[in-house]
Amino acid sequence: MRRYVQHSEHILIFECDNVKLLFAVAAEIGAAQGGGTELLNLLRIMVLCLLGSAANLRAQPADVDGEKEIERYRAMINDPMANPGYLAVDRGEVLWAMARGGKNVSLEKCDLGAGPGVLDGVAAHLPRYFADADQVMDLEQRLLHCMRTLQGLDTKDVIARRFGSPGKTSDMEDLVAFIGNKSLGMKYQASLSHPKEREMANIGEAMFYRRSAINDFACATCHGDDGRRIRLQALPDLSKPGATAREVMASWPAYRVSQSQTRTMQHRLWDCYRQMRMPAPDYASEGITALTMYLAKLGDGATINVPSIKR
């Protein structure tokens, strides 16, 4: 569908095919010579164009699959030379070796579960119980613990920048991307041998099904059954073990295309609570770790692929 409007030197061309409006403007609309009437006519034509385009969209064949297109895009950029998440990996590597804090030391002696400084495979077993803290911790909790005890670092600024935004990087997201990438290709093995680990998994499961806040939502409202969607986005069923749960646990941290940021599981769960209109959970809280432990139990055996690409 194509429409032309011409008024003296004022020329505007609309091309409506495939919901495209291509404007060729020779002079500003409504500048003079009856611009008010012309602008009204132009608006009428734009409405007709959009109505025609909407009809074309409704007539699209059923085999046009938005989810397949999203997956094709992810696959296209999901390699180290194209995935922007690897920028966070590189920044995290620098932060891991950087001396700072009151003790002016790096994190290279931090014990993430496999011994001081060992990184290979540690993300495949987190969250886990740490005897020195007598607590089950996820990676971000453990990093904060090492910053405070090993480096003597005041973590107020680190926590204030826990989630990155345009022009503001997050030390935690960068460190998690770097450490998580050290388990690339390994199998995820949920740590459930200690009683406190099993207790955390049970608490996390109870939280998954607990309905609350103004919408009376729970995690299970969106993630408690197969086939649920929000717009084009398929919602994973996280109520049972299986391939879907393994894919989820294998893919965080991830680069979020819609946010232009690398995000961790802490952010993913925080954002879920925000969307459910629940009070924001405290960063690195035991509640978030409990939910993560529940998901880890379901995702046991996943092949880790981080940083991945997500919408």
- pLDDT of 298 > 80? The answer is yes
**272 is a catalytic site residue:** yes
The whole-number pLDDT of residue 210 equals 95
In the predicted model, what is the mean pLDDT of residues 79-101?
A: 92
| All residues at 6 or more sequence positions from 20 whose CB lies less than 8 Å from its CB, including other chains | none
As given in the structure block, the two tokens for residue 248 are 């989820």
Percent of the chain exceeding pLDDT 70 equals 77
Q: Express each pLDDT in 3-54 by its tens digit.
A: 333 333 333 433 344 333 333 333 334 444 444 555 555 555 555 445 444 4
CA torsion sign, 219 to 222 to 223 to 224? positive
> Residues 18, 53: contact at Cβ < 8 Å?
yes
Tell me how crowded residue 297 is: count the other CB atoms within 10 A of its CB. Answer: 21
**Residue 150 contacts residue 105 (beta carbons within 8 Å):** yes
Which pLDDT value is given to residue 36?
54
What is the structure's pLDDT at 65? 64
* DSSP SS3 for 280: coil
Segment 289-306 shows an average pLDDT of 95
Q: What is the pLDDT of residue 11?
A: 37
Q: Across the chain, what does the average pLDDT equal?
A: 83
Return the pLDDT at 19.
36
Query: How many percent of the chain have pLDDT more than 90?
Result: 67
Q: Can you give the pLDDT at residue 20?
A: 37
Answer for the pair 145, 159: CB distance below 8 angstroms, yes or no. no
- Predicted structure pTM score: 0.76
- Summarised one tens digit per residue, pLDDT across range 96-155 is 999 999 999 999 999 999 999 999 999 999 999 999 999 999 999 999 999 999 999 999
The reply to whether omega before 307 is within 30° of 0 (cis) is yes
Long-range pairs for 42-48: beta carbons < 8 A, 24 or more residues apart: 42/5, 42/12, 45/3, 45/5, 45/14, 46/14, 46/21, 48/3
